[in-house]
Amino acid sequence: MHTDTAFTRRLGLPWPLVQGPFGGGLSSVSLVSAVNEAGGLGSFGVHHLHADQIMQVARDLRVATNRPFALNLWIPLHDEPEHPVVSDAQWDRAVRRLQPFFDELGLDAPSRPTPSAVWPAYDQQIEALLEARPAVFSFVFGIPSPAILSRCQQLGIVTIGAATTPHEARLLEQAGVDMVVATGSDAGGHRVSFTDAPENLLTGTFSLIPQVRDAVRIPVIAAGGIADARGVNAAIALGADAVQIGTAFLACDESNAGRPHQAALHAPDMDRQGTTLTRSFSGRLSRGLRNRLTIELAQAPEDILPYPWQNWLTGVLKRAAIAQGRADLMSLWSGQAVGLVRHRRVAELMQSLTSE
């Protein structure tokens, strides 16, 4: 593997490998520290956490690792209010649609939470993140304000934004962001476009990498559908300075994905079942394994609430589904390279990524 890149030089890392951040509670301190110990950049997704919880995560990470790590946030989308307004009728319809699943899991239908319980205040998250001062601040769904980017620069925090098109990559570079993740539609998790509806911006990773390479001069990190050394080498050959891997790390014991999710990622029939782009899990377009939840909710897309409400509702299901081992009734985020998942320990995955 070519290891002397603008990415490794800037961060002083041996390998051009990033463990992708997972929001919603799927990141873990042990995942980040295991990746760091193996010479990659570990990332922790904190978009679902309140300011004091972000500070606590940073403290826990510093106890577990003395190497650089990334904290990751979601930027509020400009065309969306912080808490999308959902009428009582809409809420009731969404709950009615999920009622058979609540019944199957022996749950009462949940009562509606307050907006601040489902969506922490972004301004407070940013202040906590700057105070925590991670080596890297990575973010998706947009560009932080010039004031925040200049504070990152003053504090020596490297900023990494995500682009789903060459145009988005150029906007990030023009704003002064240090590096860009070229995120192909193969990737697991949310489609993080910020200039158009994500359904319109579905370029695959290996088409996107050289286009983003040609569009910007800042380091490019390739993400989406890469899970082994062949993919890493191919991305670097196309001009990437590093690779960000999600699904293959999510499938490792050290992640916080939980048993049913990890078992599904390792299941031998995954290459038959495949992944789908769905709004069923969270209300925003994301890629995950096809299961009963994605198939049945797709029949009535009008009953799916906008993010974060749908995410909160399926989160209630998910907690019970994990406890009961029911992978059919929970969000199973995954990228298209799921059929390449082989390893259960970060050390083994890192070894296989770096040894070929």
Ligand X SMILES: Cc1cc2nc3c(=O)[nH]c(=O)nc-3n(C[C@H](O)[C@H](O)[C@H](O)COP(=O)(O)O)c2cc1C
Contacts with ligand X by CB under 6 A lie at 20-23, 26, 45, 47, 72, 138, 140, 162, 183, 186-189, 223-226, 244-247, 250, 333, 335, 337
Omega cis (within 30) before 68:
no
* Least separation in angstroms between CB 188 and ligand X: 3
* Least separation in angstroms between CB 109 and ligand X: 26
238: which 2 tokens? 């196309």
Neighbours of 2 (CB within 10 A): 12
* Least separation in angstroms between CB 61 and ligand X: 16
* Least separation in angstroms between CB 302 and ligand X: 26
| Nearest CB to ligand X, comparing residues 38 and 95 | 38
- Rounded distance, CA 332 to CA 276, Å? 10
| Nearest CB to ligand X, comparing residues 215 and 337 | 337
* Cβ contact 246:188 at 8 Å: yes
- Rounded distance, CA 139 to CA 71, Å? 8
* Least separation in angstroms between CB 90 and ligand X: 25
| Nearest CB to ligand X, comparing residues 138 and 193 | 138
- Rounded distance, CA 156 to CA 316, Å? 39
* Least separation in angstroms between CB 255 and ligand X: 9
The helix (H) or strand (E) run that includes residue 261 is: helix 259-266
* Least separation in angstroms between CB 246 and ligand X: 2
| Nearest CB to ligand X, comparing residues 95 and 163 | 163
Neighbours of 33 (CB within 10 A): 21
* Least separation in angstroms between CB 187 and ligand X: 3
Q: Nearest residue to ligand X, using CB? A: 246
- Rounded distance, CA 110 to CA 99, Å? 10
34: which 2 tokens? 């295991």
53: which 2 tokens? 């919880």
Q: Three-state DSSP class for 335?
A: coil
Strands 42-45 and 69-74: parallel
- Rounded distance, CA 88 to CA 343, Å? 45
| Nearest CB to ligand X, comparing residues 98 and 243 | 243
* Least separation in angstroms between CB 327 and ligand X: 14
| Per-position DSSP letters for 149-183, written without gaps between them | HHHHHHHT-EEEEEESSHHHHHHHHHHT-SEEEEE
How do the residues of the chain divide into helix, strand and coil, expressed in percent and rounded to 5? 45, 15, 40
- Rounded distance, CA 280 to CA 288, Å? 10
| Nearest CB to ligand X, comparing residues 95 and 281 | 281
